[in-house]
């Protein structure tokens, strides 16, 4: 192969890798938004009372919210709390 063909091949491969990475990022972001804004149970409009106890961990909160069908993915809740620096600001109370 000539140097020109190798260079074009490398550019083609690099472009494919960059495009693949961008597609994965776009997919993950769309999943994040879907889990953030779409209700988990559209047919159940009844109010839910959730109690956050003093010293409750994020994992315990995730479990409570998942059991009450208020979140569909504990993973995305954890990401949301960390990105917004809320993971250490839980306040005890009834919500």
Q: ∠59-76-40 over CA atoms, to 5°?
A: 95
pLDDT in tens, 7-57: 888 899 999 999 999 999 999 988 888 777 776 676 777 888 899 999 899
Q: Are 6 and 38 in contact (CB under 8 A)?
A: no
Q: ∠35-40-42 over CA atoms, to 5°?
A: 130
Kindly tell me if the per-residue pLDDT of 1 is higher than 70: no
Question: What number of other Cβ atoms are within 10 A of residue 61's Cβ?
Answer: 20
According to the model, what pLDDT value does residue 83 have? 87
pLDDT in tens, 44-70: 778 888 999 998 999 999 999 888 888
Give dist(CA 31, CA 18) in Å, integer: 20
Between 90 and 19, the more confident residue is 19
Secondary structure class of 90 (helix, strand, coil): coil
According to the model, what pLDDT value does residue 9 have? 87
Kindly tell me if the per-residue pLDDT of 81 is higher than 80: yes
pTM score, whole prediction: 0.58
């Amino acid at each position: 192969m000539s140097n020109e063909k190798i260079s074009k091949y490398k550019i083609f491969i690099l472009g494919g890798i960059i495009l693949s990475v961008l597609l994965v990022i776009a997919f993950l972001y769309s999943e994040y938004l879907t889990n953030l804004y779409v209700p988990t149970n559209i047919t159940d409009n009844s109010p839910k009372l959730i109690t956050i106890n003093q010293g409750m961990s994020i994992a315990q909160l995730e479990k409570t919210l998942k059991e009450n069908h208020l979140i569909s993915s504990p993973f995305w809740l954890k990401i949301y709390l960390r990105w917004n620096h809320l993971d250490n600001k839980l306040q005890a109370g009834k919500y």
